Amino acid sequence: MQDQVLAAVEAVRQKSPLVHNITNFVVMQVTANALLAAGASPLMAHEPEELDDLLSIASALVLNIGTLDKAWIASMRQAGELAGRRRVPVVLDPVGAGASRLRTETALTLLNETRPAVVRGNASEIMALSPHLTGDEATTKGVDSTRASHEAETAARDLAARLHCVVSVSGEEDLITDGDSAWLVRGGSPLMTLVTGMGCSATAVTAAHVAVASSPLAGAVAGMAVMASAGEKAAATAQGPGSFLPLFLDALYNLDPRDAAARVRRA
């Protein structure tokens, strides 16, 4: 897996994949800058009339439910359908799943209709989705996780196996699984939880790597390894969340692919 991660990180820089994001207002600028720093090209667009044209040139699609309304939900469903036709990989971020019925139902609809290559969220979000698919019970606070990534391992494996996708769970140690094998990524920093958009950036960076990787699993692992490496390096000199963000973008830009790959181990 480390060789596949290394190859994916290098491929993003060489190919600069175009990542089409239908994401939330709160994080658009941070997400776009993270993609640029990682070597990818960002596109933020949600107007239905242009989705087909844009997805014809996109390498990956991110669906992020952070700021929902009915029009955006319709755009996400349409984009997911078009991406499926064009074989563009979809990465779904079920932001705040479990916090409201609308969020949970929207996430489930997108899961079932778009069949994403990767679902990336925190432990609470992944566990909030699992009872609707497995019959188990889970609790969630919503956008901010109340659970550690290892607590979501069973839910993540089951979700991945049932939907034939990869599930990526962020936490102190990230967990990524395709329902069969599972991988852990160490690194990052607690400061990442104090800066809005870090999780959403992880989803977008994951999509960039899925676009060029040998498999969705390798791409998902690579995306989280890149975030972990840059986050840890930025935190080493940051004085707080205000100085962390620009240092994080610099660390992404100057990232050593070998350092990212070295953070990966089998669960």
Binding-site sequence positions for substrate: 44, 197
Q: What is the CA radius of gyration of the chain?
A: 16
Q: Is 115:81 a contact under the CB 8 Å cutoff? A: no
In the block, which residue shows the tokens 């967990």? 175
Q: State how far the alpha carbon of 120 is from the alpha carbons of 12, 56, 86, 160, 162, in Å.
A: 19, 24, 22, 11, 16
Q: Is 39:13 a contact under the CB 8 Å cutoff? A: yes
Annotated binding site for ATP: 120, 170
Length of the chain, in residues = 267
The Cα–Cα gap between 197 and 206 comes to 14
Q: Is 171:158 a contact under the CB 8 Å cutoff? A: no
Annotated binding site: 44, 120, 170, 197
What residues contact residue 258 under an 8 Å CB cut-off, 6+ apart?
A: 6
The Cα–Cα gap between 67 and 138 comes to 23
Strands (DSSP E) contained in the chain are 18-22, 41-44, 60-64, 90-93, 118-122, 166-170, 173-177, 182-186, 264-266
